[in-house]
Amino acid sequence: MQTETTFAPLVFNRSNYSDALLLELYEAILLPRMIEEKMLILLRQGKVSKWFSGIGQEAISVGVTKGLDSSDYILPLHRNLGVFTGRNLELKKLFCQWQGKKYGYTKGRDRSFHFGTPEHRVIGMISHLGAMLGVADGISLASNLDKDTVISVAFSGDGGASEGDFHEAINTAAVWELPVIFLVENNGYGLSTPSNEQFRCKQFIDKAIGYGIEGIQVDGNNILDVYEAVTSIAEKMRKDRKPVILECMTFRMRGHEEASGTKYVPKELFEQWEIKDPVKNYERFLEETGVLTPTRAVMLRERIKNQLAEAWEQTFAEPEIVANIEEELKDVYAPFVHELTLPSSGGSSQTKRLVDAVSDGLRQGLEKDPGLIIMGQDIAEYGGVFKVTDQFHKDFGKERIRNTPLCESAILGSALGLSIRGRASVVEMQFADFVTCGFNQIINNLSKTHYRWNQAVNVTVRMPSGAGVGAGPFHSQSNEAWFFHTPGLKVVYPSNPYDAKGLLTTSLLDPNPVIFFEHKYLYRSVESEVPDGYYNLPLGKGNIVSKGEDITVVTYGWGVSWCMEVQKMLPEVSLEIIDLRTLLPWDEELVFESVKNTGKCIVVHEDCLTGGIGGEIAATISEKCFKNLDAPVMRVGSLDTPVPFSNHLEQQFLGKRILADKIKELSAF
Ligand SMILES: Cc1ncc(C[n+]2csc(CCOP(=O)(O)OP(=O)(O)O)c2C)c(N)n1
């Protein structure tokens, strides 16, 4: 352990390592250095674009990768080339990735190290720092559930450690006793921001105390120190499953990225850290101990040089991507063939409330898939704030009905990690409003992962939403539009108990992230006949809940009840009420067909008017059904204010207030 950085040539402790191992480490650290040296030349020649250099920090990536088993997961960042080379990724494929070629890991869809390759157990980053730390939690949670010995290592920079995700992920791992090494590469800068403008603690291992876990600090430039630390932490962690913060002290010898320069870094720091260069020092040590002869060193460099030249030649020879819209759209979602299961004929059924139907669906989902995990705040003994999972922990155990700390982001990240390990999961937001605290995971991680690197994301996020219960601006929002706008998500919004159960059981099977809305007011106010046995319903299919001739009403959720009420109030107008059931993708065919017959259409939702999904639906109908329309497509939404608390204000807020008048107006056209 060390706390102060000393600027002297590195001293290596070879322990009882064999010559073969020492040489293996040498080859492993030389390769990323030589790739980077070549990158700098290619950059100057304008043959490659952006590059984040890890020169000076290679001992960390390489020491970690070599210190783990090949079955362990690594979640590296932008300076961790040595992880990718250490796990023997094909160089041509890696270079094609950087060049945006189709042969790369993301078919040109994402850049640099932004990809996962599960076969190598390397799960790369998204741009948003901190986002992968929670994913490591999920990966290691799967290890605990499967009772295997796989661990994970999640990288963070010292700058990225200021993100809330860092705190949430470590806190969750500490509470759940997950085998994750949270590795902080402390290189003193986050882009241009020095440590003293980033955090106040003296060192990151001090933070470990607050999380009740162990913190270990090493000289990150010394490959043998890193290797030793990782092997011993890993050995212990496979038995004693607790997370550890491993702080590696190091320095970035080049700019944040090659175009950004290094003016903000005092020159003497480069001189001091040059003395501690991880590659040169290790090479010197090996030569001094006779493990590496000069001839062997020259031969090795020559071999790598040729290998790189060949891989680059092949990369440049790869054709540029031919853009193809169909192919792009196809990969946004993981393929899913829905197998319709109808309620068994003659099976029993009961009148149930929506809350009971959701509960039923979840219960049967858990029975059907023994790998399925539910995570949420207060969902075990307490049963969840709406009692949807009441008593579940008794039947399925607390491992599967998992109380979570108040860490929305880490838990949604964990759900992605579980998916990577082949497990489906459900995350219950206590209220849909709180999803904002996990927004990044949904919008940037869950939704984009399949498109980027072909990983199925079987996560259902349950969202108790909506107004009508006098709960004010932060417990009443309709926020489906936030997700409707995000390719890669599916958005489901049932209006009644029968649909809620059938749509939920399908969502649990779907290998795509599903944002599943459950209206709080409807939980206990609507009832319908619900089969006791298992059944499911297709996503993406709407339902005509009331046939009519004069006006097509497109709605969902609570809006369905509003429209049914208005139909009773206005028997002179015949409404064809369509319950969309799934908002993304929405059932255009069903809607267009109805509009063709009625010639008039109104879109009704509880969400505020401006930017609500009604705008998109109305625009599409106007465009696609123009010839059939006898009037403009109209919309009803709620007031463009936050959802107010007082009952009087809330009633005024809700679009229901103007619905009958709008229908009369449309009818009069
Ligand atoms: C959430 C988020 N905010 C800002 C950025 C922009 N950004 C990219 S790298 C970086 C600095 C990161 O510093 P650090 O975590 O110390 O890692 P280092 O680059 O030093 O390895 C910043 C601010 C980002 N990628 N993600």
pLDDT at 442 over 90: yes
How many contiguous H segments (helices) and E segments (strands) does the chain have?
Answer: 25, 23
> Average pLDDT in the 39-51 region?
91
Taking residues 382-386, report their average pLDDT: 98
pLDDT band at 398 (very low <50, low <70, confident <90, very high): very high
**Measured on CA atoms in the order 556, 562, 568, 573, is the torsion positive or negative?**
negative
In angstroms, rounded to a whole number, what is the distance separating the alpha carbons of residues 338 and 355?
24
In the chain, the amino acid numbered 307 is Q
Looking at ligand 1, which atom is closest to the CA of residue 129? 26
Q: Is 252 in the pocket of ligand 1 (CB under 6 A)?
A: yes
Instruction: Please state the pTM of the whole predicted model.
Output: 0.98
Crossing angle (nearest 10°) for helices 278-288 and 58-67: 60
Instruction: Give me the sheet containing 514-519, strands edge to edge.
Output: 401-403, 373-376, 425-428, 459-465, 514-519, 490-492, 582-584
Q: Which residues contact 263 (CB under 8 A, 6 or more apart)?
A: none
Task: Specify the residue for token string 């706008």.
Answer: 485
Contact 86, 30 (CB under 8 A): no
Q: Quick one: pLDDT at residue 6?
A: 83
Residue 408 among the catalytic residues: yes
Q: Which of 475, 518, 519, 576 is catalytic?
A: 475
The closest-lying atom of ligand 1 relative to the alpha carbon of residue 198 is: 16
Condensed to tens digits (0 to 9), the pLDDT of residues 651-661 reads: 999 999 999 99
Secondary structure (3-state) at 577: strand
pLDDT of residue 561: 98
β strands within 148-223, DSSP E: 152-157, 180-186, 189-190, 193-194, 214-219
Only one residue has tokens 């064999």, namely 18
Segment 482-498 mean pLDDT: 98
CB 79 less than 6 A from any atom of ligand 1: yes
Query: Which residue bears the tokens 């009443």?
Result: 476
Q: Is the CB of 158 under 6 A from ligand 1?
A: yes
CA of residue 554 relative to chain centroid, distance: 31
Percent of the chain exceeding pLDDT 90 equals 98
Q: What is the CA(251)–ligand 1 centre distance, in A? A: 15
Predicted confidence at residue 1, as pLDDT, reads 39
- pLDDT at residue 384, rounded to an integer: 98
> Can you tell me the mean pLDDT for 440-444?
98
| Cα–ligand 1 centroid distance for 415 (angstroms) | 24
Q: Is residue 647 lining ligand 1, measured as CB closer than 6 Å?
A: no
- SS3 state of residue 150: coil
**pLDDT per residue as tens digits for the range 264-276:** 999 999 999 999 9
Residue 197 per-residue DSSP state: G
Q: Please tell me the distance from the alpha carbon of residue 445 to that of residue 128, in angstroms, as a whole number.
A: 9
What's the whole-number average pLDDT of the chain? 97
* Direct distance between the N- and C-terminal alpha carbons of the chain, in angstroms, rounded to an integer: 80
Q: How far apart (Å, rounded) are the C-alpha atoms in residues 128 and 124?
A: 12
* CA 255 vs CA 114, 183, 249, 276, 378: distances in Å: 20, 21, 17, 18, 46
378 Cβ contact list (under 8 Å, min separation 6): 384, 385, 403, 430
Examine the pLDDT at 403 and tell me if it is beyond 80: yes
CB neighbour list of residue 649: distance below 8 Å, 6 or more residues apart: none
User: Are residues 560 and 521 in contact, defined by beta-carbon separation less than 8 angstroms?
Assistant: no
Render 476-512 in DSSP notation, one character per residue: ----HHHHHTSTT-EEE--SSHHHHHHHHHHHHH-SS
Q: For 470-478, what is the mean pLDDT?
A: 97
> Is the pLDDT at 317 greater than 60, yes or no?
yes
Burial class (CB in 10 A: 0-12, 13-18, 19+), 57: buried
Phi, psi values for residue 13, rounded to 5°:
-110, 110
pLDDT tens digits, one per residue of 161-206: 999 999 999 999 999 999 999 999 999 999 999 999 999 999 999 9
Single-letter amino acid code for the residue at 35: I
> Which ligand 1 atom minimizes the distance to the CA of 163?
1
The answer to whether residue 485 is catalytic is no
- The reply to whether omega before 585 is within 30° of 0 (cis) is yes
Q: What is the CA(129)–ligand 1 centre distance, in A? A: 6
User: In which residue are the tokens 């950085």 written?
Assistant: 5
pLDDT at 632: 98
What's the confidence (pLDDT) of residue 581?
A: 98
Query: E-assigned strands of 299-363?
Result: 349-353
Nearest CA to ligand 1 atom 12: 190
Ligand 1 centre distance from Cα of residue 267 (Å): 22
Q: Which residue bears the tokens 């329309």?
A: 629
**How sure is the predictor about 2, in pLDDT bands with cuts at 50, 70 and 90?**
very low
Mutational test site, ligand 1, from 58, 60, 127, 129, max ligand atoms within 8 Å of CB: 129
**What tens digit of pLDDT does each residue of 340-363 get?**
999 999 999 999 999 999 999 999
Atom of ligand 1 nearest to the CA of 158: 16
